[in-house]
Structure 1
C-alpha cells in the first residue's frame, strides 16, 4: 500500500497522513486538557467565586471517574469503528460531540450543564481517541521500523495542545490575566475557549483528511452482518433497562447519591476489561498466534493501569497539592495552580526528541515489557518524591516550593515516555485482525481502570494523610515494576515475533 511505504517521508521522515492526525489530536487535547485544568476548581469553588460549591473530596472523585468514563467509552467507539462506521467517520462524529460538550459547559446553567457536558464529552472522546490512534498504526506496515518513532511524534502532537491549554484556558477564566485565581472567576469564558479549540481540530481533520488519509479508514474492518445486529441491540436495551432499575432502586432506598454512582461505575470499569479479554481469547476469529499475543498483553495492561493511576493524578491530587500546599510564585512571577497542568505535556515535548532518537538508533533496545517495567519504577519514584516535603519538614501544613511539583512531573514523564508511546505501538502490533480498533480501546481501558481506582482512593488524600498516600501508592508501582522485570522473557515469548 502506498501510504505504508518507507518512501512516504513527507512529514519529518514519516507518512504525510501522520501530519493530519498529529494536528487533529493536538486541537482535541487542547480542548480537553484546557477544560480539565480548571474543572476541579470550578466544581469546588464557592458559588460566590463563580464555582458550583461542591465538597472538595467529591469534586476530586468526580474528576477521576470522569476521566475513567472518558477512556472507558473507547470500547464503544472501537466497536462502532470496526463494525459499523469505519475509523474516519467515527472520529469526526466524536469531535462534534466533544465540541458540543464544551459548549454546554460554557453556559451558566450550573450542575445540570456540568453533567450534560460530561455525557457529551465522554461519548465523543470514546468515539475519537481509539480510532485516531488506530489510524496512526494503519500508516505503517508491521515491519516498518519508523512505527515507534511515529507514535512518539504523535504523542508529541497530543502534548503540544495539552501544554498550551493550561495557560490559555485559565487565562480566559481569570479575566484574561496571568496571576493567581481571584475572588470571582469567569470559568465559562475558559470553557468557551476549549470549545473553539475543538472546532479548529474538526476543520483541520475534515479537509486535510480527505487528501491524506487512507481510503480504508472510510470502511469498517469487520462489518457487522444484519442478522448479528439484532441481538446486540437487544442486549444493549437490556443493559440500559438494568441500569435504570438499579438507579431507581437506589432512589427508592435513599442511596442515590454521587458517591454510590461513582462506586457502581468503578466496578463496571474494572469488570469491563476482564470481560473483553475473555471475549477476545475465546473468539473463533482469533487464531493461535493472535491468542498468544493477547495473553502477552494482559500483564502489560495491568502495568499500564498502575501507571495511569499515578500519571492521571496530575489533574486531581497534584492539583490539590498545587492549590493548597504550593507557593504560587517564583520571585515576582505569580501564577495559578491550574498552570501546573502544563508540566505534564511540557516535559513530554522536551523528552520526546531524545526518545525518538533513542528508539530509532538503539539496535539492541529492551523489549516492550522491559520498557514497561522500568517505566513503572519511575512512576512510583515520582510519588515517593512527593512524600519528601512532608517528611523533611515534619509537617504537611504550610506551603512548599513549587519545584517539588516540577521535579515530580519530570520523573513521571520519563515513565510516560517509556510506557505511553510504546504501549500505543505494541497494542496495534499485538491486536488480532478482527479486533484492531477494539484492542486499541483496551489500551484506553487501562487508563480508565487506573482512574476508577483513583476515584476511590483520592478520597483518602488530605493534609493528614499526604505522606502515607504518596508513599503507599509509589511503593506499589515500584514493586510491580520490579516484579514485571522478572517476567520480561516469558511475556516476550508470548508476543510471538513482536518486539
Structure 2
C-alpha cells in the first residue's frame, strides 16, 4: 500500500488523493470565510437595509463567540473521528451540516435562522476541519519525503478559498455586478453562494474520495467499545443536564438572553483548557519529564490565546473599522468593506515562502518561546498601528485611508508566521505520550479561549473609543510578549530537550 502511494504522483507530484482533500477544504473555507465576510453587517444593518437590526455590540460579540464555538467543537470532531465514525465519514457529515447551515442563512427567516445556522456550521466545521488535515497525513507513508510539501499545497488550498470568498460572496450580495437589487444589499444571495460552494466541495469529495482516498479512512482508528462508551454517555448526559439547569435558572431569573449565553460560553471556553492542564499535570500516566514540558506549554498557550484574540478580530473589530471609518475606494476603484477580509489569507500566502526559507537557513534562530514572544510584540504593534489614524486625524474627521487596514493586517500576519506554525509544531513535541490527541486539541482551545475573551471586550469598541481600545489591547500583547521574553531561557529549560 505505501509503495503504491509513493508511486502516485498524479497531482503535481503528490498523491491524487491530495487533490480531493485540497479542493474539499478550499470550498469549505470559501463557504466559511465568505459567510463571515458579510455576517457581521447582516446582523447589525437595519431591517430596511436587509439586515437583522441588532445593536452593534451584540453583533460583534456573536461574531467572536461564533469563532470560539467552532474551535471548541473541533475537539469533539476529532474524538468522533478517532473513536466512532472514521475520518472520511466524519468529514462528510460535517460538510453536509455546513451546507445546510448556509442554506438556513440564505432563507429570509430572521434571527431564528441565524441561530440555527450558527449551530449547524459550528458542529459541521468542528467535524470537518480537524479531520481533513488528519486525512492528508494518511496519504503518505512515514518515510515519504513529500509530506511537508503536500501539507504546504494543502494549506495553500485553504488560503486560496479564504482569499477568493470575501470578493465573491459580497459580489453576490450586491447583485452579481448587475444591480439586481437596485443598489441594496441582499445578504441572502451572498449566503446562497456560500452554500453552493460547500455543495461543490461535497460533490467533489464524494466522487473523488471513492477513487482516491484510502479505505482505512472509513473506519475509526481506535473504535470505542461498550465498556468505554458507558462513561462517555454518562458524563455527556451530566453535562447536558447541568447546562439545562443553568439555562433554566437564568430563565427563572429573567436573565436568559443572548449576552448571558455568550458569557456562559466564554466561561466554558476558558475553563476547558484549565481542566485539561490540571488533568495532564496530575495524571499518573505523565512522567516527570513530560510534566515539565506541559508546564512549559502553559505560558505558550496564554500567548497563543492573546495572539488569536487580536488576529481573529479581523472579522469583527477591523470589519467595523472598514465599514465605518475607511475610505472604500482607491482612485476610481471602489470596493466593499467585506473585501478587506481577503488580506489575511493573501498575506499568509505571500509570507509563508519567505518564512519557510528563513527557518531553513537561519542557523541560530530563536527558540519557540522566543518566536512566541516576538510574535506577541508584533501582534500588539498591529493594534497600536490602528490607533494612529484617530490620534492623527481624530475620530470625527471622517474616513481614513484603506492602507491603515492593509498595514495592520500585514503586521499581524508577520506575527502569525512566528506563532501559528511554530505553535502547531511545538504542541506536538511537548505532548505527553498518553495525551497526544488531547494536547493537539489544546492548540484549538487557545484560539477558542482567545475569541471567547474577545466576545466580552468587543462590546467596548466604537469609533469614539477606538484609540483607547486599540492601545490598551495592543499594550497587553506587547507587555506579555516582553515578559515572555524575560522567561525564554526558563521556559526552554522546562521543555527538557525539545527544540
Q: Identify whether the pair has TM-score above 0.5, normalized to the shorter chain.
A: yes
Q: Give, in whole Å, the separation in 2 of the partners of 1:116 and 1:222.
A: 32
The alpha carbon displacement at 1:105 in A equals 1.0
Q: Does 1:267 align with 2:267?
A: yes
Which aligned pairs between 1:326-345 and structure 2 lie closer than 5 A?
Answer: 326-345=326-345
Q: 1:385 to 1:378 in 2, by over 3 A?
A: same
Q: Give, in whole Å, the separation in 1 of the partners of 2:229 and 2:178.
A: 53
Q: Give, in whole Å, the separation in 1 of the partners of 2:8 and 2:418.
A: 27
The alpha carbon displacement at 1:433 in A equals 4.7
Q: Which residue of 2 aligns with 1:303?
A: 303
Q: 1:276 to 1:8 in 2, by over 3 A?
A: farther
Q: Which residue of 2 aligns with 1:60?
A: 60
Q: Which residue of 2 aligns with 1:370?
A: 370
Q: 1:477 to 1:8 in 2, by over 3 A?
A: farther
Q: Give, in whole Å, the separation in 2 of the partners of 1:394 and 1:2.
A: 63
8 A contact 2:174–2:183 mirrored in 1: no
The alpha carbon displacement at 1:444 in A equals 1.4
Which aligned pairs between 1:97-496 and structure 2 lie closer than 5 A?
Answer: 97-136=97-136, 151-177=151-177, 184-210=184-210, 212-213=212-213, 217-496=217-496
Q: Secondary structure at the match of 1:118?
A: helix
Question: Is 448-457 or 183-192 further displaced after alignment?
Answer: 183-192
The alpha carbon displacement at 1:236 in A equals 1.1
Cα deviation digits, residues 51-88 of structure 1 (max 9, x gap) = 11111111111111111111111121122223222333
**Count, aligned residues:** 498
The alpha carbon displacement at 1:40 in A equals 0.4
8 A contact 1:390–1:467 mirrored in 2: yes
Q: Does 1:39 align with 2:48?
A: no
Q: Give, in whole Å, the separation in 2 of the partners of 1:429 and 1:17.
A: 27
The alpha carbon displacement at 1:149 in A equals 6.0
8 A contact 1:92–1:202 mirrored in 2: yes
Q: Give, in whole Å, the separation in 2 of the partners of 1:222 and 1:379.
A: 39
Q: Give, in whole Å, the separation in 1 of the partners of 2:442 and 2:4.
A: 24
8 A contact 1:82–1:436 mirrored in 2: no
Q: 1:432 to 1:211 in 2, by over 3 A?
A: farther
Q: 1:438 to 1:95 in 2, by over 3 A?
A: farther
Q: 1:431 to 1:202 in 2, by over 3 A?
A: farther
Q: Give, in whole Å, the separation in 2 of the partners of 1:212 and 1:296.
A: 41
Q: Give, in whole Å, the separation in 1 of the partners of 2:333 and 2:2.
A: 52
Cα deviation digits, residues 111-138 of structure 1 (max 9, x gap) = 1111000000111111122223344455
Q: Give, in whole Å, the separation in 2 of the partners of 1:313 and 1:37.
A: 12
Question: Is 95-104 or 360-369 further displaced after alignment?
Answer: 360-369
Q: Give, in whole Å, the separation in 2 of the partners of 1:493 and 1:140.
A: 34
The alpha carbon displacement at 1:251 in A equals 1.5
Which aligned pairs between 1:87-102 and structure 2 lie closer than 5 A?
Answer: 87-102=87-102
Q: Which residue of 1 aligns with 2:30?
A: 30
The alpha carbon displacement at 1:4 in A equals 12
8 A contact 2:6–2:141 mirrored in 1: no
Could you state the TM-score of these two structures normalised by the residue count of structure 2? 0.91
8 A contact 1:88–1:218 mirrored in 2: yes
Question: Is 290-299 or 192-201 further displaced after alignment?
Answer: 290-299
Q: Secondary structure at the match of 1:38?
A: helix
Q: Give, in whole Å, the separation in 2 of the partners of 1:414 and 1:138.
A: 30
Q: Give, in whole Å, the separation in 2 of the partners of 1:371 and 1:205.
A: 37
The alpha carbon displacement at 1:489 in A equals 3.4
Q: Secondary structure at the match of 1:473?
A: helix
Unaligned stretches of 5+ residues in structure 2: none
Q: Secondary structure at the match of 1:398?
A: coil
Cα deviation digits, residues 384-421 of structure 1 (max 9, x gap) = 10010011124454110111001101111111122222
Q: 1:204 to 1:422 in 2, by over 3 A?
A: farther
8 A contact 2:381–2:411 mirrored in 1: yes
Could you state the TM-score of these two structures normalised by the residue count of structure 1? 0.91
The alpha carbon displacement at 1:234 in A equals 1.5
Q: Secondary structure at the match of 1:73?
A: helix
The alpha carbon displacement at 1:207 in A equals 4.0
Q: Does 1:49 align with 2:56?
A: no
Q: 1:273 to 1:11 in 2, by over 3 A?
A: farther
RMSD: 2.8
8 A contact 1:303–1:376 mirrored in 2: yes
Q: 1:52 to 1:156 in 2, by over 3 A?
A: same
Q: 1:301 to 1:431 in 2, by over 3 A?
A: same
